[in-house]
Structure 1
Amino acid sequence: MSPKLLPLVNTRHGSRSYKTCEYRCANQCDAPTPNTSENEEFATLARRAIARRSVLKATAGTMVLGGLAASPAAAGGKGHGHGHGHRGPKKVGTTEFTSVAPNRKDDVVNAPEFTHDVVIRWGDPVTARAPRFNAYKQTPEAQAQQFGYNNDYVGLIPLDGRRALLSVNHEYTDPELMFPAGMDELTKKKVEMAAHGLAVVAIEKGRKKGSWHTVDPRRSRYNRRVTASTPHQVDGPAAGHPMLRTKADPRGRTILGTFANCSGGTTPWGTTLHGEENFHGYFDASGSLDSTQSAAYARYGINGKGKGWKDVDERFDLTKAPNEPNRFGWVVELDPLDPSAPPVKHTMLGRLKHEGCNVTIAEDGRVVAYTGDDEKGEYIYKFVSRDRYRRDRSPHSRRHNKALLSAGTLYVGKFTGDGTADGLHDGTGTWIPLTSDRKSYVPGMSVAEVLIHTRVAADKVGPTKMDRPEDIEPNPVNGKVYCALTNNSDRGKKFTTDEANPLGTSMVRESLGAPLTAKSGNRNGYVLEITEKGRKTATSFTWDLMLICGDPAAQETYFAGFPKEQVSPISCPDNVAFDAEGNLWISTDGNVLGSNDGLFRVPTEGPERGRVQQFLTVPFGAETCGPLVSPDQLSVFTAVQHPGETDDATFEKPTSTWPHTDAFPRPSVIVSYAK
């Protein structure tokens, strides 16, 4: 089915529809801003540097064609600097490719040197007991054995030379696209609960180098589904605390389910981490709310308006189970290699709207983890473990390593501009301690209180408000840390700016080919680069804005000093990943430049630092998730989420049918590889 190639009159944030906002985050943009603290905002720190940079010659000589920069990258020409005359398989980190032009097609569009396969779709079998998918006769029992809806994070755990495990998040559901008209409402809710959570799927290499396909579930002992009803273990200092106890779990140590899982990370010991993000939108109230928790509820955006799951399970009724929301908003650790091991919710990493969590090993052997709180005006966090990583492969050492996220120190970031006239957008920063597993550094709050009400605790120590800190990940090659700051449409309104700050006004495009127009707020986002001082466990760092995203023709954009006429337009960075060369890969969500969302490759070092190239675009109405570059650099995995999720779409009348195997869209994981 062809997409509607018309201005998106019903979208609220570029390519994101009102429907996406409702089902994914309960329209948090329409709700009161949870962070009402007086802590300083990142925009006020960066404004001088960005203003200084605007007088540089970055915009000089840029030619504009139809509102897009005409260049080797943006206009479809080949780039330079990555080709090495390969005789062997083409590696995605070093191979030249022709940048994909902005488009509104209902398909995945790869760089022409590459192709892709669909690895797994919503409804495909995960376990050996899974029945064949029938969208017209869905049951919760079947969905609990099938691939869930709206895949997001993708992790890869190698098994041997040919096989690996995909570990995938299923973030949220859209009943209007999932179910035909007339289906029983209670059954729909039960199916949705089973469509949330996580999936572990065995895959193996295909005949073509870089290709992968699923293994028959009957040949894999690892395949597994985790849903909104699967028991999870609670660990860390807050485990068993009264605020985590409920009538169904009086010990506060076993939580049923995980949902709203956005991005994640893979650990050196072979487990995957999954961030519970927009959990606030899952709880209804049949009556009054617990007045003792009203302030905490408000700080997390919990208002008693959920998805109706209380009709299935009363734990989703705030009036009957007021502590249940405290049991969500954690980082979940899953062991794909041990299907019998329950997933673990790590209270030591704090409770917030985790986009994901990524770890690295410090020089002294301790584990360092980074996570972002994905909401306007929220903070960036860092965790340093108490104990050290063991590198040997013994079962005893693996058990030890799986406990490393249970004890240590949790920090929150404060960013300060350097105020020098160096023409750069940079500064210094400090990691402010919130709590260790034994001692709270926040006056008036215990260790458990800091971890359960982390937003409240962070407000008290003066960190810096950020513009939706999403995925944050250390680069394994250069050691720096990169964070996607997606956007903030309220910058300049609810969030203070001044006239010197170009991110108070951003250039956007209502439809493909339309002229750029100015809109208030930081609409296109940016990518933050953090350099730890001396050691990864250090509490001080330097920072710079590596990318100010947007159209190259817009004055406010910046691409680490790389010539703007040679980059692809990029809007709303969401997830980040790295290849073995240290290149940054960025997926986008909510493009406000008229195009579908996409995946981009950006060198972080050398003469091509900042050269943004679009590797692919996802179908109409979809979001680009994942991404993941295989260690051998022959494969790029991408999770295509919510294809065709437009405000006028229904199951019977979809605006996308991707991946074009049915009369309705199916969120799927794809793999791209060289032709």
Structure 2
Amino acid sequence: MRELLPMIATHAGGRSALTCRYRCGDACFGEVPNTSGNEYAGDVIAGALSRRAVMRTAAVVTVAAAAGGTVLGTGASEARAATVPQGAAAGRHKPRGKAARGLRFTPVAPNRADQVTVPEGYGQNVVIRWGDPILRGAPAFDPDRQSAQAQAGQFGYNNDFLSLLPLPRERGRQVLVANHEYTDEMLMFRGYDPANPTREQVEIAWAAHGLSVVVVEEQRRTGKLTAVPRHQLNRRLTLSSEFRLTGPVAGDRLVRTKADPRGVSVLGTLNNCAGGETPWGTTLHGEENFNQYFAHADRVTDPVAAARLKRYGISGGASERKWERFDDRFDLVKEPNEANRFGWVVELDPYDPQSTPRKRTALGRFKHEAAAPRLTRDGRPVVYMGDDERFDYFYKFVSSKRHMRGNSRIAHAHNMTLLDEGTLYVAKLTGDSPVRQIDGSGTLPADGEFDGGGAWIPLATAKSHGRAVSHVPGMTAQEVYVFTRQAADLVGATKMDRPEDVEPSPHSGKVYVALTNNSDRGKPGKAGADEANPRSLNKHGQVLELTEFWDRPDSTRFAWSLFLVAGDPDDPSTYFAGFPKERVSPISCPDNVAFDPHGNLWISTDGNALGTHDGLFGVATRGERRGELKQFLTVPTGAETCGPVIQDRRVLVAVQHPGEVDGASVEKPASTWPDGPGRLVRPSVVAVWRADGGDIGV
């Protein structure tokens, strides 16, 4: 295994330059948008909310509460939650017996095979590919006869987030919802000229972005899934589809354009990355690297407007795809507010193909990697969100309205308003170790783990009928929502190492945050290492575990620890919740996360900096095997593993941008997956199951 780990790539993580160019507009090679001087909370002595400080306070708070008093405004139940055991205890156990239930498979070794590699005893199939027809009248995919009309009825490009929802009235069928993050025209069109794309190529790309809803059918004796074309629920949402702005920004001057003077209707959704499922049966989709699609920021002369664009990574002249040549809304000089209509969380009702998806402005505008909801004890939704940028932040939204159970029209109508009213927060973390012990090397501090406490800082509260209140001095509520990054800068949020997907555990209630990497951490003029981001020049990333006090997601206090510090287990800077490192798989650049029915966390990777292909990993989060991490699959050359769904009898992954290797093109493919030599490389969704029909990993 160790012999398969060559020199680390010089590119950000292990990505190719082609991926960086088309997915995020070379974000990691541009100037870091966050130039704020936010002080790391670990440097603050007075009033620091460290995990151990709260633990020491717990007994005092309990006594005071019994006498009818309070301490520091923190209830006894909140303080007691800080005593929940974290990673240090796990480092002292000696795991015995079998692997955790759900992880009992032979791990796949790191490799460079141009295929999806799965454990021995498991089967797989391609569920659906880019270009497969899903709507009535859509033709079969023909790489040499592509058209925008055909693509609008076919499965989109570069599938990312996946959701499998039940379809109770149709036995053996489920509803698959997929994000289509971006297009790579070099791998889509023969003879593509990046300097001079044709209108037809641009319109095909518009149709290849967005979302897909497609019913899938399972084979009874295996976990194999196949798409059901032309089902009445099947749907494509593209850059020409109507989306509605809702919440406190709807109708505001900051989102009005010539085509939409009322500021309520947007055409399309861009760069949808990860997402989430709501308890009321809808799906959430994060608009991430929308900045790269807008041109001529260098011609914006107003200094305030220019600064706002720069904070979101919007800069320079012509865009990579040159869409501004064919639609004025992508030209910031002609339509200065169009960019403000992207960067939101989209809510989609996949069971109603006539519904209009909604962009929920109360959740803030930034590069949303994901949006993962849960319910408070009194039934209010809480949505956790990461802003996928170097040195950006981790957020949550707490609704002021309660979820209504049931499937009635009244319940559905009510639940479709839950994400328009509530409070948006940003996280500030405090380490509990002396600053001198966090030296950027990844060496554990004296207490044996990276951990601490934190506070949720309110940014704005959205009320009924579009009314809202700002909690950030100097900014209106609408400015807070549209320019959320600047609001978080002003309140001193903690700069993180690219917070990407976020997932609350349905078993423990803990929240897991994938921090993919940050090769700028500790560079001159950049933020240095801190306890939550403990390595300088961080190539491999980490996974943060957050505990809301006393299982109250609406609390403004939390405890945290680093559950995993990724990399080669032979590297002394890595950490696997205290589990023996000689018994885990190497992992680099955690991205999407999901839970299986047994409470294990599954992690897909993006940009493996160890030199082997990206993959999917399962890791135990509880018990004596906590931290045991095993690789379940790897993806083909140039591909990224996305959107994992882990069910009892199957695992579903999105294989994104296969063959996206420097120098590759349609004429010079770097991969032959999934259809073999002579066929166009196509992003696809893959299902994996046990060959004997049993449950995964048991």
What residue identity is the alignment partner of 1:324? E
Amino acid of the residue matched to residue 150 of structure 2?
A
Is residue 569 of structure 2 the alignment partner of residue 533 of structure 1? no
Please say if 1:467 is aligned against 2:466: no
> Kindly tell me: are residues 417 and 263 of structure 1, through their superposed partners in 2, closer, same or farther at Cα, counting changes over 3 Å?
same
Find 1:352's aligned residue among 366, 371, 379: 366
Give the aligned residue type for 1:250.
P
Match of 1:601 among 618, 625, 630: 618
Counterpart pick for 2:290 among 266, 279, 282: 279
Give the Cα separation in 2 of the matches to 1:502 and 1:351.
Answer: 24
State whether residues 88 and 578 of structure 2, in contact with CA within 8 Å, keep that contact through their aligned partners in structure 1: no
Structure 1 CA distance for aligned equivalents of residues 528 and 8 of structure 2 = 28
Structure 2 counterpart of 1:16, one-letter code: R
1:181 matched to 2:191? The reply is yes
Distance 1:430 1:342 in 2: 36
Amino acid at match of 1:195: A
Whole-Å Cα distance in 2 between the matches of residues 442 and 489 of structure 1? Answer: 31
Q: Residues 250-289 of structure 1: matches in 2 within 5 Å? A: 250-285=261-296, 288-289=299-300
The one of 519, 534, 539 aligned to 1:523: 539
CA displacement 1:484-529 (0-9 Å, x = unmatched):
0000001120433369999545xxxxxxxxxxxxxxx011000000
Of 195, 202, 205, the residue aligned with 2:218 is 205
Q: Which stretch shows the higher mean deviation, 280-289 or 599-608? A: 280-289
Q: Which residue of 2 aligns with 1:374?
A: 388
Displacement after TM superposition at 1:39 (Å): 1.0
Structure 2 match to 1:442: 472
8 Å contact kept, 2:8–2:610? no
Specify the alignment match of 2:581 in structure 1: 564
Residues 6, 465 of structure 1: CA spacing in aligned structure 2 closer, same or farther, 3 A cutoff?
closer
Q: How far apart in 1 are the matches of 2:268 and 2:43?
A: 40
What letter is aligned with 1:388? Answer: R
Query: Which residue type is aligned with residue 201 of structure 2?
Result: K
Normalising to structure 2: TM-score of the pair?
Answer: 0.85
Per-residue Cα deviation, 1:641-671 (whole angstroms, up to 9, x for no partner): 0001011111011010111255221000011
Match of 1:296 among 296, 305, 308: 308
Change (3 A) 1:575 1:300: same
Equivalent of 2:528 in 479, 493, 497: 497
The whole-number CA distance in structure 2 between the counterparts of 1:12 and 1:424 is: 30
Matched, 1:651 2:666: yes
* 2:562 maps to which of 545, 556, 578: 545
Aligned-partner residue type, residue 629 of structure 1: I
Match of 1:612 in 2: 629
Partner of 2:203: 190
Alignment of 1:124-135 (within 5 A): 124-135=132-143
Which of 310, 313, 331 is 2:345 aligned to?
331
Q: Is the 8 A contact 1:43 1:503 kept in 2?
A: no
Q: CA deviation at 1:94?
A: 2.4
* More displaced 10-residue stretch of structure 1: 7-16 or 264-273: 7-16
Deviation at 1:142, TM superposition (A): 0.6
- Residues 257-302 of structure 1 show CA distances to partners (whole Å, capped at 9, x for unaligned) of 0011000001111111000000000011298225141111011011
Quote the residue 1:227 is aligned against: 238
Structure 1 counterpart of 2:572, from 515, 530, 555: 555
Following TM superposition, by how much is the alpha carbon of 1:58 offset from its aligned partner in structure 2, in angstroms? 7.4
Distance across 1 between alignment mates of 2:329 and 2:307: 20
| Amino acid of the structure 1 residue aligned with 2:36 | S
Unaligned runs of 5+ in 1: 62-71, 73-78, 84-92, 506-520
CA-CA distance at 1:137 after TM superposition: 1.2
SS in 2 for 1:427: strand
Structure 1 residue 674: deviation in Å? Answer: 0.5
- CA distance in 1: counterparts of 2:497 and 2:29, whole angstroms: 16
| 2: CA distance, partners of 1:126 / 1:259 | 21
Contact 2:431 2:532 in 1 (8 A): no
Distance 1:302 1:502, change over 3 A: closer
Quick one: distance in 2 between partners of 1:286 and 1:138?
32
Q: Deviations over 1:297-352 (max 9, x none)?
A: 01101114422111221111111001000000000011100010011000000000
Instruction: Name the TM-score, length of structure 1 as normaliser.
Output: 0.88
SS in structure 2 of the partner of residue 442 of structure 1:
coil
State the 1:96 CA deviation.
1.2
Distance in 2, Cα, partners of 1:41 & 1:195:
41
The answer (yes or no) to whether the contact 2:384–2:502 under 8 Å persists in 1 is yes
CA distance in 2, matches of 1:432, 1:529: 19
Shift of 1:80: 5.1
C-alpha contact 1:358 1:369 (8 A) present in aligned 2: yes
What are the Cα deviations for residues 228-278 of structure 1, in whole angstroms up to 9, with x where unaligned? 111101100110000100000000000000011000001111111000000
Once the two structures are overlaid, the 10-residue window that deviates more, 277-286 or 8-17, is 8-17
Cα offset, 1:471, TM superposition = 0.2
- Answer with 34-43 or 196-205: which moved more: 34-43
Counterpart for residue 162 of structure 1:
172
Q: 1:290 to 1:260 in 2, by over 3 A?
A: farther
> 2:512 maps to which residue?
482
Q: How big is the shift at 1:451?
A: 0.3
Identity in percent: 53
Secondary structure, aligned partner of 1:296: helix
Q: Quote how far apart the aligned CAs of 1:427 are.
A: 0.4
Alpha-carbon distance in 2 for matches of 1:287, 1:604: 48
The answer as to whether partners of 2:8 and 2:609 remain within 8 angstroms in 1 is no
What code does the residue aligned with 1:179 have? F
CA distance in 1 between counterparts of 2:533 and 2:134 reads 48
Q: Which residue of 1 aligns with 2:398?
A: 384
The yes-or-no answer on 1:625 pairing with 2:624 is no
Aligned-pair distance for 1:391?
1.3
> What is the rounded CA distance, in whole Å, between the counterparts of 1:441 and 1:653 in structure 2?
54
For the 8 Å contact 1:11–1:18, the answer to whether it is kept is no
Q: Render the CA deviation track for 1:553-601: whole Å, top value 9, x for unaligned.
A: 0000000000001000000000000011110000000101111000000
Aligned residues between the structures: 623
Asked if the contact 1:10/1:18 (under 8 Å) is kept, the reply is no
Q: Which residue of 2 aligns with 1:638?
A: 653
Distance 1:461 1:330 in 2: 21
Aligned to 2:694: none
**Displacement of 1:419 after TM fit?**
2.4
Task: Give the match for residue 514 of structure 1.
Answer: none
One-letter amino acid matched to 2:528: T
Q: Distance in 1 between matches of 2:622 and 2:590?
A: 19
Kindly state the Cα deviation for residue 395 of structure 1 after the two structures are TM-superposed: 1.6
Structure 1 counterpart of 2:258: 247
Query: Which one of 410, 419, 437 corresponds to residue 405 of structure 1?
Result: 419
With over 3 angstroms needed to count, the CA separation of the structure-2 counterparts of 1:6 and 1:269, relative to structure 1, is: closer
1:351 and 1:608, CA in 2 relative to 1: closer, same or farther beyond 3 A?
Answer: same
Give the Cα separation in 1 of the matches to 2:592 and 2:225: 22
Q: For 1:433, give the aligned amino acid.
A: P
How far 1:82 sits from its partner (Å)? 3.8
